Amino acid sequence: MTTIAVQSDLVSALSQKLANRTAKVGVVGLGYVGLPLAVEMAKAGFTVHGFDLSAPKIDAIVRGESYIPDVPTAEVGELRRSGKLFATTDPAVLREVDTVNICVPTPLRKTKDPDLSYVVSAVEMVAKHLRAGQLIVLESTTYPGTTDEVVKPILEKTGLVAGRDFFLAFSPERVDPGNAKFNTRNTPKVVGGLTPDCTKLAKALYSASIECVIEVSSTRVAEMVKLLENTFRAVNIGLVNELALMCDRLGLSVWEVVDAAATKPFGFMPFYPGPGLGGHCIPIDPFYLSWKVREVGFEARFIELAGQVNGAMPHHVVDKITDALNSHSKSIRGSRILIVGVAYKRDIDDLRESPALDVMALLKQKGADVSFHDPFVPHLSEEWPGHQAMDSVPLTDAVLERSDCAVIITDHSAFDYDRIVANSKLVVDTRNAVKRLSANVFKLGAPGVRTRT
Ligand SMILES: NC(=O)c1ccc[n+]([C@@H]2O[C@H](COP(=O)([O-])OP(=O)(O)OC[C@H]3O[C@@H](n4cnc5c(N)ncnc54)[C@H](O)[C@@H]3O)[C@@H](O)[C@H]2O)c1
């Protein structure tokens, strides 16, 4: 039998298994991205085997429990009972599956260089169990060329050839935790394979569980698509953050300006200022691109500038707090400052890169007595930049009254902002959460209400 005939047999065997849902699907890394994907694929009828190094996560899934807010425990329980979802810390399962989606972290090193160590170790694990006919898809956000230059050589050390003996693709994850409208199923998915067969198989895998799958011509294009999306957000947030600082100086409300501009039905898309970037994507991903293009002698100026503007926002929040306390003849040193909301965005529990932690660390350095309340984050371990384990305090009227200043960093929808304003001596609002203005409210990017003398 010729090599081409063997390859086409492998393609048609996997295509058939994907079409009739008899394929066993593997997911490596069951975090914010991997667990929702595993659940969606199991709901589509595949038998899904999740693999993660974290024993507590695996134990939770085995018990039928979810630890990701967007994934209901009832769904995990139901899929466990129906024998569609399995989870293990034993990598041997990777040999049994027909497809593997890799959803491990891609952080930055302290130097802002990409840290591909999680991807490399996950791919090495996959390589140990690789067999002919498998489809491997990388989902972790990364720079263009990773699938081709990093993942493929590790897998090919086995002697199997990508595109011939096994299939390789990249498909960026676009999940937006906490988004009530768009989820894994109804967010279109981009796929780019190493060869047309790789793309075809990856498309077949996703089409079973995702409403719209878009093919692109290569793994590099698919990698770059994700970096464009997140760089677009980082740059536009940088622009509007700078506009907030301009409005502050000019005595205008940036919130009113953006909302009025957003009435233009074409050519404008609103972005809102805030206390700084957070999460595992926007503060990190653009630097994967700027690092990569430095290799070809290119300086990614927009990315660097947006990084500087966005990175300075926690300092501007501290300036606002200083102004607010100053209006009561107080200094930051010795003031009791309550941070309201520490997750990096509304209605989620994710603390990664949260600007609240930077604001809190700066306030602590200046001698403030800092506490926090967050209904999604009961406890801060010592690992945040302030290095102090802390528990969330209850948001009672008494706690508000006792604080010299309440600082709204994360605008969770459960908060009663009128009550916060009514019971606080001072409120600094970094999210435009407070709609009814009063003399004790200081907003980022907006003038305060002047009291008559
Ligand atoms: N969180 C988001 O909103 C989001 C959105 C789009 C894309 N992404 C990207 O998706 C990727 C994953 O992000 P996440 O938020 O799901 O991360 P996460 O930290 O929530 O989950 C990653 C999981 O991978 C596991 N893991 C690490 N190394 C492993 C290994 N060698 N083998 C098996 N499991 C391993 C960890 O234990 C963890 O459970 C990143 O590249 C991220 O940039 C994230």
Instruction: Give DSSP secondary structure letters for 179-217.
Output: -SS--TTTS-EEEEESSHHHHHHHHHHHHTT-S-EEEES
| Tokens representing residue 55 in the block | 């024993």
- Atom 41 of ligand 1, nearest CA residue: 140
For ligand 1, the distance from its centroid to the CA atom of residue 279, given in whole angstroms, is 12
Determine the Cα–Cα distance for residues 376 and 359; give it in Å rounded to an integer: 18
Tell me if residue 21 falls in helix, strand or coil: coil
Contact 446, 426 (CB under 8 A): no
- Atom 35 of ligand 1, nearest CA residue: 29
The residue with tokens 């948001």 is 395
Task: Report the 3 state secondary structure along 309-347.
Answer: HHHCHHHHHHHHHHHHHHCCCCCCCCCEEEEECCCCCCC
**β-sheet bridge partners, residue 314:** none
Question: Dihedrals φ, ψ of 424, to 5°?
Answer: -100, 150
The residue with tokens 């205008």 is 252
Buried b / exposed e along 20-32 (16+ C-beta atoms within 10 A): eeebebbbbbbbb
- Atom 10 of ligand 1, nearest CA residue: 140
| Tokens representing residue 238 in the block | 């940088």
- Atom 23 of ligand 1, nearest CA residue: 29
For ligand 1, the distance from its centroid to the CA atom of residue 53, given in whole angstroms, is 11
- Atom 32 of ligand 1, nearest CA residue: 122
What is the per-residue pLDDT for 6? Answer: 73
Determine the Cα–Cα distance for residues 109 and 68; give it in Å rounded to an integer: 26
| Residue 114 per-residue DSSP state | B
Question: Dihedrals φ, ψ of 274, to 5°?
Answer: -175, -170
C-alpha distances (whole Å) from 24 to each of 163, 170, 177, 253, 420 are 20, 19, 26, 55, 51
Q: Does the annotation count 212 as an active-site position?
A: no
| Tokens representing residue 33 in the block | 């991205």
Q: Among 190, 280, 345, 353, name the best residue to mutate to test ligand 1's pocket (greatest count of ligand atoms within 8 A of Cβ).
A: 280
| Tokens representing residue 375 in the block | 């209904």
- Give the chain's radius of gyration (CA, Å): 24
The residue with tokens 């011509």 is 217
For ligand 1, the distance from its centroid to the CA atom of residue 263, given in whole angstroms, is 37
What is the per-residue pLDDT for 450? Answer: 59
- pTM of the shown model: 0.92
What is the per-residue pLDDT for 1? Answer: 60
Sign of CA dihedral 269, 107, 198, 34: negative
What is the per-residue pLDDT for 453? Answer: 39
Contact 303, 287 (CB under 8 A): yes
| CA dihedral of 314, 316, 318, 324, whole degrees rounded to 10 | -140
For ligand 1, the distance from its centroid to the CA atom of residue 307, given in whole angstroms, is 23
What is the per-residue pLDDT for 388? Answer: 87
For ligand 1, the distance from its centroid to the CA atom of residue 60, given in whole angstroms, is 17
**pLDDT tens digits in sequence order for the chain, 453 residues long:** 677 777 789 999 999 999 999 999 999 999 999 999 999 999 999 999 999 999 999 999 999 999 998 899 999 999 999 999 999 999 999 999 999 999 999 999 988 899 999 999 999 999 999 999 999 999 999 999 999 999 999 999 999 999 999 999 999 999 888 888 999 899 999 999 999 999 999 999 999 999 999 999 999 999 999 999 999 999 999 999 999 999 999 999 999 999 999 999 999 999 999 999 999 899 999 999 999 999 999 999 999 999 999 999 999 999 999 999 999 999 999 999 999 999 999 999 999 999 999 999 999 999 999 999 999 999 999 888 888 899 999 999 999 999 999 999 999 999 999 999 999 999 999 999 999 889 999 999 998 775 543
Q: Among 37, 52, 353, name the best residue to mutate to test ligand 1's pocket (greatest count of ligand atoms within 8 A of Cβ).
A: 52
Determine the Cα–Cα distance for residues 165 and 128; give it in Å rounded to an integer: 15
Neighbours of 226 (CB within 10 A): 25
- 408 half-sphere exposure, CB direction, 13 A CA radius: 28
Q: Cβ < 6 Å from ligand 1: which residues? A: 28-34, 51-54, 57, 103-106, 118, 121-122, 125, 140-141, 173-175, 177, 280-281
What is the per-residue pLDDT for 175? Answer: 86
| CA dihedral of 281, 284, 289, 292, whole degrees rounded to 10 | -130
CA-based diameter of the chain, in Å? Answer: 94
Exposed/middle/buried for residue 181 (C-beta within 10 Å: 0-12, 13-18, 19+): exposed
Residue 30 CA, distance from chain mean position? 14
> 390-397: which pairs have CB atoms within 8 A and are 24 or more residues apart?
393/338, 395/340, 395/420, 397/423
**β-sheet bridge partners, residue 4:** none
Tell me if residue 347 falls in helix, strand or coil: coil
Contact 420, 400 (CB under 8 A): yes
User: Which atom of ligand 1 is found nearest the CA of 350?
Assistant: 1
Closest CA to 288 of 434, 133, 150: 150
| Tokens representing residue 85 in the block | 């979802």
